[in-house]
Structure 1
Amino acid sequence: MFASWWKLGLDTTLLAFEAQSVIALRMAKLAAGGSAAQIEAQRMVSEKVFAAGEAAMQLATGASHGAVVDGYRRKVRANHRRLTRGTKRA
């Protein structure tokens, strides 16, 4: 029992750190302006609405909190990959 709570806490903490990275990348893109910023803003809002609805449906149909966190982490990692594509890393 304790192990499942520990894993949920760790996964939620990792989600928070991963999300901060995506927020920083998105803010940089939005600050640059232009059509790419407009597209990113629209994408960000629609993704959030869809993800919230999906999480609500998962919980309503009996999914665990861990499954919801895992779903959010997959989406955040996908956004991170998309936003860093083409950038050079040291």
Structure 2
Amino acid sequence: MSGVNFYVYIITNKNHTVLYTGFTSDLERRMFEHKTGVYKEFSFKYNCNELLYYEEFIDKEEALHRERQLKKYKREWKENLICGFNPSWRDLYDDFLLD
């Protein structure tokens, strides 16, 4: 992933009832934090720790703009986005680590 510095991502819980959209400069570290419950915030409260979708950016402002966009979208639109990227809705965390 050379040249990529920022990520916008969507995670969910085991039953896919909650979608959480986030931004980070280190997706591997941030997903580890979600999976281990380091921060007791929204994603911890709703057990969101499965990586369903991510986009890579070089420009921080572009990534933050995209995160704000995604947060405004209704769930149905986010589901369609996820289905185009990850049709089986499987946790992509291990795949991301292998890249």
TM-score by length of 2: 0.25
Which structure shows the higher strand fraction? 2
Tell me which structure has the larger Cα radius of gyration: 1
State the structure with bigger RCO (CA 8 A, min sep 6), 1 or 2.
Answer: 1
